[in-house]
Structure 1
Amino acid sequence: MWRYEPMSVEEEEIFRGRYDGFPDMRITYPLVVVRPFPRRANFTIPYGSGEGYRDEDPFLLHPQFATVDLIPYDDLQYALLLPSILRWCSNVLTVMSLRNQLLVGTPVTQVPLELLTTATTAPVAQELTHYQRLETLGDTVLKFLASLQLFAQYPLWHEGYLARRKDHAVSNARLAREAVDKHLYRWIIRDRFVPRKWKPSYVRDSIPSNPPEGQSIEQGKEPIPIEEENEVATEPRDQLKRKKKKNQQLSTKVLADVVEALIGAAYEHQGFDLAVDCAAFFGMGLTWKKVPERITDILARSEPLDEPPAQLHLVEHLLNYTFTRKELLVEALTHASYHGEDAAMSYERLEFLGDCALDMVVTDYLYHAEGKQYSPGHMHMRKESLVNSHFLAFICLRTSTISEATNAFWTPNGGTATTTEHQRIHLYQCMMHSSHRVLEDQHIAFSRFEKNGAVIEQALLHATMYPWAALTSLQAPKFLSDMLESLLGAVYLDSEGNLDAVRNVMRTLGIMEVMEHIVKSDMDVQHPVSRLAIWADQQEPKHKIRYLTEKKDGNVSCAVIVDEVEVIRVTEKYHSRASQEEVRFAAAEQALHTFSVLEDEEGSFIPGMDLPDIVNPLLYAMDISYDMCPYESDRTSMPLTTIYTSSCAFLRPPVTPNLRFCAIKVFTRSP
């Protein structure tokens, strides 16, 4: 469009600024009125909330310095939208080809295109959705189903053999091998859509059915095409570019992730039955049967007890679940050391199955948490806070009930009389064992629970940070968490594969309550050691943190050393190797508090105080100015011990270690 009216002073100033490289330009009318082409080019991703289409403001151009192409407006719109439309069609056709060629004749074709598209889209493609969340879900589903298949197929294998065989079956290398055998790589969407550099794909550019020479599958993370050094030095750049395009490499992790994502998509659509069909399609060296069939095989081998122990009703009361097959409950409570007349197989096999069932329930809850859409990393952190051995041992120690016992005794006057006693029975006391070491470990762990249990429970249900150090301070033996997992495995089998029964038991034990609080309150569940490392990496300049653990005179201590300066030291009595982990966690947590690396009630990050903010008041209180500080090595200075002693006179711990660290940083830095 043309403009014939003269410009205002402001418009003329802007106009001349656009042509400041032409000082002799004369303004003649009419001028060309133009509007910038829309900046947005990728229309496959919708606008977020608060965003929308916005017309750019028009501006003026001089006809003498402008070129006009007479292109219809509709054609411009088509050209703008066509790359995104073709990209969407390409993705859909790729997934339809996967379903109609690779998956044809299998029940997996029932999975909707939307889920299949997500499952086959790599994150590197930068599409709206990708497979990472489905891969996390599918990984847990695959491990759960593989564990159940092996548990049923090998009734005489102990937990070690089962775990080893499962790990081999679901390893990335095995999954990638199965994917290559099925030519799954042909349908993985991994090319990035760049609309501004887009050009149409022609028939000659289509990917062949088999990998061409030079294309390989490598184990590990996203690989980089490899060229020989002499080729880089002698061949022209354009030949190197063509060679890079030819040497397309795909990592085993991407292939394995897509297989797991497909299993996750099948589970998401129709549950375990379709997930088993998808897993059976890839094989993985296992004999696959549906879950009800495997449960039937397992239960057919169980032998009913002639006289179940009378104490079993206490455990059923604690779990709020009545077992139909009491022999499963006896097995779940039997330690390997037990030598009684009613001795059964120990709980190790059920613990193997219960561990997978627990992971399945927790991962499924986190994946479907309303309004969260957790990334795989956040799901992993929250899952670890709920399935770690410290937390499960705490649940085992905390779970208890009141038992009434009637005792009869003889009195000289009245003859026989009875008294009723009330006794609190804890779940851990129901374990059947024949080891004095186990009994001693139980007593020691429970004594620590009596000391810290109330604090831990308060933190789990009301605090904003997960009590890693407090849970570790229990130093609970592993058989406590194993026993709890074996009980969950027994419930799963006795209920004939009903995970809802496992969820109900977890709710009775309080696990579901903690999980719901973690999700709803956005509890900070990050490990203190990891959080301290992240804080150190975010500082300017970055700090180097290491931990020094020492055992001496029956004690174990851990020091947090920042830039070769000890800032925190925690010392505790040494009981076992768990004591070393306890003091390490405690030292990391104290360092977090010292450096103020916390989160406020709204969850926003509160960084540590800057060094001058802390050191200035210290120097002022000691009547020392920065001019007096020995920044240079050849400058005489007050001994650091004198400064530190003076600071301790008016500062209370735990601020003192932080100030000591800051003082050292000030007096050793360059001017």
Structure 2
Amino acid sequence: MVGTSSIPSVKQGFLDLEQDKLQLHLQNFRTGKTNLLVATSVLEEGIDVPACNLVICFDKPTNLKVFIQRRGRARMKSSRLVLLHEAQSASLTEWEEREKEMKRRYEDEMRELVQIEELEHSESPNYPILSVEETGARLTLDDARSHLEHFCATLSSRKYVDWNPDYITEKVIVGSATLLRATVILPISLPEGLRRAQSIQAWQSEQNAWKDAAFQAYKALFNAGLVNKHLLPLKESDLAKDVEARPAKVPFDPERMSEGLEYLIRDVVNTPYFYRGILPSKPPIESVQQIYRNFEESPEDTPYLSLGRWPKKTGFFHRPLPPTESVKSTRPHPRVLPAVDARADTVPLVYAQFGLLIPSIIHYFELYLVAAELMSTRLKSLELSSIDSVVEAICATSAREPVNYERIEFVGDSILKLCVTVNISAARLDWPEGLLSPLKDTFVSNSSLSKAAEATGLDQFIITRQLTLNKWRPPYVDDLVAVPQGLSNTRRLSTKTLADVVEALIGVSWDDGGLPKALKCISLFLPPKPKMLNWMPLETCREILYNHAPDNMALPSTLEPLEKLLGYTFQKKSLLVEAMTHASYNVPGIKACFDRLEFLGDAILDNLVVKAVFDHDKPKLENFQMHLLRTALVNGDILGFLVMEWSHKQQRFDVDIADGSEQQAPTLVESEFDQPLWSFMRFSSTELALEQEKTMRRHAELRGRIIAALRSGTHYPWTLFARLRAQKFFSDIFESLIGAVWVDSGSMDQCAELLRRAGILPYLERVLRDDIHILHPKEELGRLADRETVKYVVETAQRDDGDPEFACKVYVGDRCVADVQGAYYKEEARTMAAEVAVHKIKAEKAVQEPS
């Protein structure tokens, strides 16, 4: 471990160690993979090194401070500090005396701490109590620090961020006494106005000063609405007390499975046929496609009728099936029947055919009448123009109609998420992302939407029952016949069906009148809540967010190349700065981190991809295909990889001395290097820097294969992405930039251009054009296994270098179908094993099925 110059433009010599490996060496030492470090004085201070059992110093400490720092490294039980010195040196006695002096000072400090603790308890302040009369909750001075630490811990679950509050103590002169005041600094995810609080009194004890500052900080959080009436951090239950957790599905009733699957069936006497012709005598058995029972015993010298079978599913409206190349039978007669056993109907065939269609015709009249009534009553204010779209939106999949709500619900779900996200971001400018996310969930959850459907009476307009001709009767008959005692006219609908229809109608409104009409539809089902949310147009929300961003902030020089990389120039540079600031970068002068912009950008990204998938019409994609595409394009793996690949060429000048001689003047050598998007992120976490370094090593190893798969492969590289294992902060950068561009420009087109430059939309176009296989191996294996259970058994081993290695066996039923080894991570092992299992099962089925 060698400390070297940190000037990036100075070319390092061959004796200098690579600084990007320093953190990796330290991590190996912390975990025990490396048990010996040889270092310069770089390890004396400022670097987190665990306690060592032996510290050897080859050079004499220059002063007491250095001696104490080195002695502090040997703080394990029975640890030793070895000082090498000259044989005749008199410094040994000096250092022994200094160590004794250090121990004396330490003992004095311990006694001083006891005195301070006694002083803390001796202060009897007349300090006010924060109380809530409604609940009886109370906050005292002694409770403040623990409450504040608990609040900070609930702000977010992001990694690489220290969520503990920091305290700064300063001395003040009050009269003739020197007292203490404290300032507490809270995490950067909170608004700037709530991030600092000062004690209102001066104290003799530092601990009491900290408690005072913590109390004032917690009081400010309560006044800002971030703490509930019980003086506890807000939870999802506080945001939506009326949201009820209910099963999404209706309980399965096996006795009802036959309903809707029964078709018109007659016995052999009354089976209808088409007349094809008359035969003078009984035809040979070889000329009849399907003979009836006792055909051989039937008379020979009597006329026979050549007949065609009446289709079983006559009377339904279905999309015509694509033509098939079926082998035409060489037998000329589908069926035959003796003329003496045949009877002719008195009603012409055309009326019989029309009569069979009457149920379907009435059924479709009913669909459109229901939709028309819905449009003229509950949805009247929306002024929707297409009744066909409304019919599509109210037909559940269980109705088995030619159309259902699945496609349009896919869009409506994304529109709802976007409108809710933007509105609550604008309405709660002081709320951190950790509170905005559960608040959003209270609006978009199935429970909330199903309650909205019931409250507006939408549930009575939803079509769920399949048309069946078995025992069919006109709909009005049900109104005339009394309901048998013990039965109910009430039907049971799942919360998901109710919620899906609401989202489908939001999608219909968007398709009919864009986002303004979609927002109007949302407000119809989810009325504004004065104390929670008043629905505003997205343009108004964007203006609020834009005006909230600081003005006239200069762009740091380190971020100046970023605008060229993005292809967009920000009007407010503060938005770009915020979008590139990690939550760990909590330093003075920082206004905000990217958490809120990432929350906003996630909804915008989802909406742009969903719209692009929905608009594809050659051919129109089915609902399951659209879901697969969104899963493949909006996930942390591909976004993280694209953030690593998206780079900007930068120039730099290295100082070079040709022969290494000090006599020759150095020269500046110009060169170019690629600066990736992720490197612009501002952070102050050692663990995050280490994770970046590890990920870059994996990226360098895998990028060639991933790029080949994305550009010319036939399958989505799920396994390679699982090995890359890009942490969430990589994709967070991209989503926060999308949010920042939208707030700054107000243009979805600018955001879409960002997706195109990053490579998301071009890859979507390739997937659609070349029919890329994007189903995840684990999901595909589940489908191939059908009703058999799939089980993954992961085992852990250790490599020669000390890193863990994972192996995985996959069982389908009781049979082991795959056994893989050599994975770096558990999820990678499962994905690899699933991929092998899928290939094996497909190969087995190909052998079993005839070509």
- Structures share fold, TM-score greater than 0.5: yes
Aligned to 2:761: 512
Cα displacement string for residues 313-339 of structure 1 (whole angstroms, at most 9, x for unaligned residues): 311111122212211111100111224
Query: Which amino acid in the other structure matches residue 791 of structure 2?
Result: I
Aligned partner of 1:374 among 621, 634, 637: 621
Q: d(CA) in 1 for partners of 2:789 and 2:427? A: 53
1:249 match: secondary structure = coil
Instruction: Give the structure-1-normalised TM-score.
Output: 0.75
1:78 aligns with 2:354: yes
List aligned pairs for 1:378-417, cutoff 5 A: 378-405=625-652
Q: d(CA) in 1 for partners of 2:481 and 2:595? A: 50
Aligned to 1:42: 315
Structure 2: runs of 5 or more not aligned: 1-274
Aligned partner of 2:822 among 564, 571, 590: 571
Q: d(CA) in 1 for partners of 2:480 and 2:503? A: 27
Aligned to 2:495: 252
Offset of residue 150 of structure 1: 0.7
Contact 2:810 2:837 in 1 (8 A): no
Instruction: Give the structure-2-normalised TM-score.
Output: 0.60
2:425 match: secondary structure = helix
Offset of residue 372 of structure 1: 4.1
Change (3 A) 1:16 1:309: closer
Cα displacement string for residues 539-586 of structure 1 (whole angstroms, at most 9, x for unaligned residues): xxx57532223255541313214337595242345xxxxx32223323
Aligned partner of 2:396 among 110, 119, 122: 122
Q: d(CA) in 2 for partners of 1:72 and 1:257? A: 46
Aligned to 1:549: 795
Change (3 A) 1:46 1:341: same
Offset of residue 196 of structure 1: 5.3
Change (3 A) 1:12 1:547: closer
Aligned to 1:167: 441
Offset of residue 201 of structure 1: 1.6
Q: d(CA) in 1 for partners of 2:779 and 2:827? A: 14
Query: Which amino acid in the other structure matches residue 179 of structure 1?
Result: A
Aligned to 2:712: 462
Query: Which amino acid in the other structure matches residue 131 of structure 1?
Result: Y
Aligned to 2:737: 487
Aligned to 1:151: 425
Q: d(CA) in 1 for partners of 2:306 and 2:795? A: 74
Change (3 A) 1:206 1:385: farther
Q: d(CA) in 2 for partners of 1:70 and 1:39? A: 22
Q: d(CA) in 2 for partners of 1:433 and 1:4? A: 90
Aligned to 1:289: 536
Aligned to 1:437: 687
Aligned to 1:102: 378
Aligned to 1:181: 455
Offset of residue 262 of structure 1: 0.6
Change (3 A) 1:442 1:44: same
Change (3 A) 1:93 1:405: same
2:557 match: secondary structure = coil
Change (3 A) 1:130 1:17: closer
Q: d(CA) in 1 for partners of 2:691 and 2:730? A: 10
Structure 1: runs of 5 or more not aligned: 213-238, 574-578, 599-605, 611-671
1:556 match: secondary structure = strand
Aligned to 1:65: 341
Contact 2:291 2:336 in 1 (8 A): no
Aligned partner of 1:272 among 506, 515, 520: 515
Q: d(CA) in 2 for partners of 1:168 and 1:261? A: 19
2:690 match: secondary structure = helix
Aligned to 2:782: 533
1:205 aligns with 2:479: yes
Offset of residue 207 of structure 1: 12
Percent of aligned pairs sharing the same letter: 28
1:425 match: secondary structure = strand
Contact 1:41 1:196 in 2 (8 A): no
Deviates further, 132-141 or 558-567: 558-567
Q: d(CA) in 1 for partners of 2:684 and 2:302? A: 104
Offset of residue 591 of structure 1: 4.1
2:591 match: secondary structure = coil
Contact 1:120 1:187 in 2 (8 A): yes
Cα displacement string for residues 136-187 of structure 1 (whole angstroms, at most 9, x for unaligned residues): 1111111111111111110111111111011111111110101001111111
Contact 1:41 1:195 in 2 (8 A): no
Contact 1:334 1:433 in 2 (8 A): yes
Contact 1:559 1:566 in 2 (8 A): no
1:311 match: secondary structure = helix
Q: d(CA) in 1 for partners of 2:827 and 2:343? A: 72
1:262 aligns with 2:505: yes
Larger Rg: 2
Aligned to 1:448: 698
Q: d(CA) in 2 for partners of 1:308 and 1:193? A: 65
Query: Which amino acid in the other structure matches residue 341 of structure 2?
Result: F
1:88 aligns with 2:364: yes
Aligned to 2:58: none
Offset of residue 590 of structure 1: 4.0
2:806 match: secondary structure = strand
Cα displacement string for residues 464-519 of structure 1 (whole angstroms, at most 9, x for unaligned residues): 111112112122221111111101111121221x2221111111111112222222
Equivalences, count: 557
Q: d(CA) in 1 for partners of 2:347 and 2:487? A: 38
Offset of residue 197 of structure 1: 4.3
Query: Which amino acid in the other structure matches residue 451 of structure 1?
Result: E
Contact 1:361 1:503 in 2 (8 A): yes
Change (3 A) 1:244 1:156: same
Offset of residue 116 of structure 1: 0.4
Contact 1:472 1:582 in 2 (8 A): yes
1:7 aligns with 2:281: yes
Q: d(CA) in 2 for partners of 1:75 and 1:587? A: 61
Aligned to 2:165: none
Q: d(CA) in 2 for partners of 1:207 and 1:508? A: 65
Aligned to 1:660: none
List aligned pairs for 1:515-664, cutoff 5 A: 515-537=764-786, 544-550=790-796, 552=798, 554-562=803-811, 563=814, 565=816, 567-572=818-823, 579-593=825-839, 595=840, 597=842, 607=845
Offset of residue 281 of structure 1: 0.5
Change (3 A) 1:15 1:566: closer
Change (3 A) 1:112 1:247: closer
Query: Which amino acid in the other structure matches residue 541 of structure 2?
Result: R
